[in-house]
Amino acid sequence: QHTSCALSLNENWDEDVRADMSDALDRIAPEDRKGSLYRHSAEGLDDMPAHIKSALIGASVTIPIRDGKLATGTWQGIWYLEFRASKHSRKVVATIQGEKNA
C-alpha cells in the first residue's frame, strides 16, 4: 500500500529477467541526478521515478488459486518491486474472491 512500489506476476526462473526489467524501467523513468527532470523531488531524487514505475507496473495482481494452491505457470512468480533506495515500511493487503464448491 504505497505509491512507490509495485506488484507483478512475472518470469521468476531466470534472474536476468529481473535485472532486465529493472534496467528497462530505469531507462523509462531515470533517477533525477541533476534535479532537473521532475518537479516533485522533496523526498529525494529517486521519489518521482518510483511513482512513475509504480504507476506503470501497478499495485495489484490477480493470482489464480485452484484447490487452495497458487495456480501460477511453471516459470511465474509474484514480484514485489520496491523502487525507493531507502528503507520504507510497506503493507500488503490480500483480497480473496471466488466461489466455494458445494
Minimum mean pLDDT range among 51-55, 71-75, 83-87 = 83-87
14-20 average pLDDT score: 95
Query: What is the overall mean pLDDT for the chain?
Result: 90
Task: State the pTM of this model.
Answer: 0.85
Give the type of residue at 74.
T
| Domains of the chain with bracketed CATH | 5-82 (2.60.120.460)
- Neighbour-count burial of 34, counting CB atoms closer than 10 A to its CB (0-12 exposed, 13-18 middle, 19+ buried): exposed
Residue-level pLDDT at 18: 94
- Cell readout for 28 is 523509462
pLDDT tens, position by position, 56-73: 999 999 998 888 899 999
1 band by pLDDT with thresholds 50, 70 and 90: low
E strand or H helix at 17: helix 15-28
